[in-house]
Amino acid sequence: MSFTLKADDKPAYRLFTAAGKATSYDKMLKELATADVVFFGEQHNDPIAHWLELQLAKDLLRLKQGQLVLGLEMFERDVQPLVDQYTTGELDDKAFEEQSRPWPNYATDYKPLLQLARQQKFRVVGTNVPRRYASQVAKGSLTALEALPALEKAWIAPLPMTVDFELPGYKNMAKMFGGDAAHAAGVQNIIQAQALKDATMAHFLNQARPEGHLLLHFNGAYHSDNHDGILAYLRQQNPKLKTLTISTVSQEQLGKLEKEHERKADFVLVIPEDMTKTY
């Protein structure tokens, strides 16, 4: 099969391997089906990634003969009972959407996934830390969580948790925020809040995966790029898991993968830079 683009083609996306070699959806799908956990790193406002997430969920469900669990950064741990009630059909759309604090782009971008789960009867797990705790940490470091009641601690990664500030993603965040030493404590808190999200997602997706199942996790690309973020915490908890990753990037041209995107993930989904955004 040839991957050359004809002059009159206008592809909406292209797929590449980590090394920058063009590949097909079918080849990627077959390889992803061999993993224990697949991380799909999206750009939250990209319609092509959301469409491809739905296709991937359908196709992996078929290949794994129903042994699939969906993990979503977009729902927080304290609303998990509602997610369960919705996917089993106990809660209707209106009640679910009023109570579960869905993201503003839920209706277009994530609802089709939950509807698929409801229809095909597979489990969906919200993996993220309730955002109020992340913002407490961003203001006052991880020590802000120590006083939480036990019930609320059940919604976050087990404490005490350590943060490796040398992880490439966290070092990059420190660089992005820059600044002097006086500013450093504030930046460290922001990185700790990011680490709290990563560690919490790793903890709950690891718990949610029954033996022999594939867990397909959707998250912002930054949480899984360079096999970092969530994956760094997951490796500590369960080093035997086979994980594969996808990262979504945009480029002006789709002919070849730009150098800066190589090795970002096992598969890189390239979207045209001028693609319509959902918000």
Q: Is the pLDDT of residue 6 over 90?
A: no
Q: Is the pLDDT of residue 8 over 80?
A: no
The predicted-structure confidence for 46-67, as pLDDT tens digits, reads as follows 999 999 999 999 999 999 999 9
The predicted-structure confidence for 174-198, as pLDDT tens digits, reads as follows 988 876 555 678 899 999 999 999 9
What's the CA gap between 274 and 279, in Å, rounded? 13
Beta-sheet strand order (sheet of 267-272): 22-23, 14-17, 267-272, 243-251, 37-42, 214-220, 68-76, 123-128
What's the CA gap between 32 and 104, in Å, rounded? 29
Amino acid code (one letter) for 269: L
What's the CA gap between 53 and 265, in Å, rounded? 16
| Residue 1's pLDDT band (cuts 50, 70, 90) | low
**CA angle at residue 51 from 243 to 118, to 5 degrees?**
80
Strands (E), the chain: 14-17, 22-23, 37-42, 68-76, 123-128, 214-220, 243-251, 267-272
Tell me which of 176 and 229 has the higher pLDDT: 229
| Residue 134's pLDDT band (cuts 50, 70, 90) | very high
| Residue 91's pLDDT band (cuts 50, 70, 90) | very high
Residue 149, pLDDT score: 96
Tell me which of 182 and 23 has the higher pLDDT: 23
The predicted-structure confidence for 97-128, as pLDDT tens digits, reads as follows 999 999 999 999 999 999 999 999 999 999 99
